Amino acid sequence: MDADRLNRKYANAARADEFGPWYVLDNAAMIFPVMSDRTATYMFRLAATLDEPVHLPSLSAALARIAPRFPYYMVDLHRGFFWNYLQPLGKVPVPVPDHRYPVQDFDVRKRGQFPFRVRARGSRIALEMHHVLSDGGGALIFFKTLLAQYFRNRGVESEAAPDVFDPDSTPHPEEYEDAYNRFFRSELPVPEPRPHAFRIVSPLLPAYQFRVTTGILPVDKVKEVSKSFGVTVTELFCAAIMDALQEIRAAYPAWMRRRSGPMATLEVPINMRKVYPTRTMRNFSLYFMPSVDLRLGRYDFGELAELVHHRIKSESPEREIPRQIARNVGLSRRQYVRLLPLGIKEIFMRMFYNSMGKNFLSGGVSNLGLLTLPEPLNSRVTRMECLMPPSRVTCGNLGAVTWGDRIYANFGSLMKSREVERLAFKRLASLGIPVRLECNMEDPV
Binding site for other proteins (CB under 8 A): 15, 17-19, 22, 24, 78, 80-83, 85, 87, 338-339
Measured distance CA(230)–CA(242) in Å, rounded: 17
Q: What's the closest the beta carbon of residue 109 comes to other proteins, in angstroms?
A: 16
Q: What's the closest the beta carbon of residue 276 comes to other proteins, in angstroms?
A: 25
Q: What's the closest the beta carbon of residue 5 comes to other proteins, in angstroms?
A: 16
Measured distance CA(70)–CA(52) in Å, rounded: 27
Q: Would you say 20 or 155 has its CB closer to other proteins?
A: 20
Q: What's the closest the beta carbon of residue 169 comes to other proteins, in angstroms?
A: 27
Q: What's the closest the beta carbon of residue 189 comes to other proteins, in angstroms?
A: 14
Q: Would you say 348 or 432 has its CB closer to other proteins?
A: 348
Q: Would you say 323 or 333 has its CB closer to other proteins?
A: 333
Q: What's the closest the beta carbon of residue 63 comes to other proteins, in angstroms?
A: 27
Q: What's the closest the beta carbon of residue 344 comes to other proteins, in angstroms?
A: 14
Q: What's the closest the beta carbon of residue 15 comes to other proteins, in angstroms?
A: 7
Q: What's the closest the beta carbon of residue 79 comes to other proteins, in angstroms?
A: 9
Residues 289 and 268 sit within 8 Å (Cβ to Cβ): yes
Q: What's the closest the beta carbon of residue 285 comes to other proteins, in angstroms?
A: 25
Q: Would you say 7 or 413 has its CB closer to other proteins?
A: 7
Q: Would you say 21 or 404 has its CB closer to other proteins?
A: 21
Residues 362 and 420 sit within 8 Å (Cβ to Cβ): no
Q: Would you say 87 or 372 has its CB closer to other proteins?
A: 87
Q: What's the closest the beta carbon of residue 338 comes to other proteins, in angstroms?
A: 5
Q: Per residue, what are the HEC states of 256-270?
A: HHHHCCCEEEEEEEE
Q: Would you say 16 or 160 has its CB closer to other proteins?
A: 16
Q: Would you say 22 or 301 has its CB closer to other proteins?
A: 22
Q: Would you say 24 or 281 has its CB closer to other proteins?
A: 24
The residues that bridge with 408 in the sheet, in sequence order, are 216, 401
Measured distance CA(392)–CA(209) in Å, rounded: 12
Distances (CA, A) of 313 to 238, 245, 320, 332: 14, 22, 10, 29
Q: Would you say 196 or 333 has its CB closer to other proteins?
A: 333
Q: Would you say 24 or 289 has its CB closer to other proteins?
A: 24
Q: Per residue, what are the HEC states of the chain?
A: CCHHHHHHHHHCCEEEECCEEEEECCCCHHHHHHHCCCCCCCEEEEEEEECCCCCHHHHHHHHHHHHHHCCCCCEEEEECCCCEEEEECCCCCCCEECCCCCCCCCCCCCCCCCCEEEEEECCEEEEEEECCCCCHHHHHHHHHHHHHHHHHHCCCCCCCECCECCCCCCCCHHHHCCHHHHCCCCCCCCCCCCCCECCCCCCECCCCCCEEEEEEEEHHHHHHHHHHHCCCHHHHHHHHHHHHHHHHHHHCCHHHHHHCCCEEEEEEEEEHHHCCCCCCCCCCEEEECCEEEHHHCCCCHHHHHHHHHHHHHHCCCCCCCHHHHHHHHHHHHCHHHHCCCHHHHHHHHHHHHHHHCHHHCCEEEEEEEECCCCCCHHHHEEEEEEECCCCCCCCEEEEEEEECCEEEEEEEECECCCHHHHHHHHHHHHCCCCCEEEECCCCCC
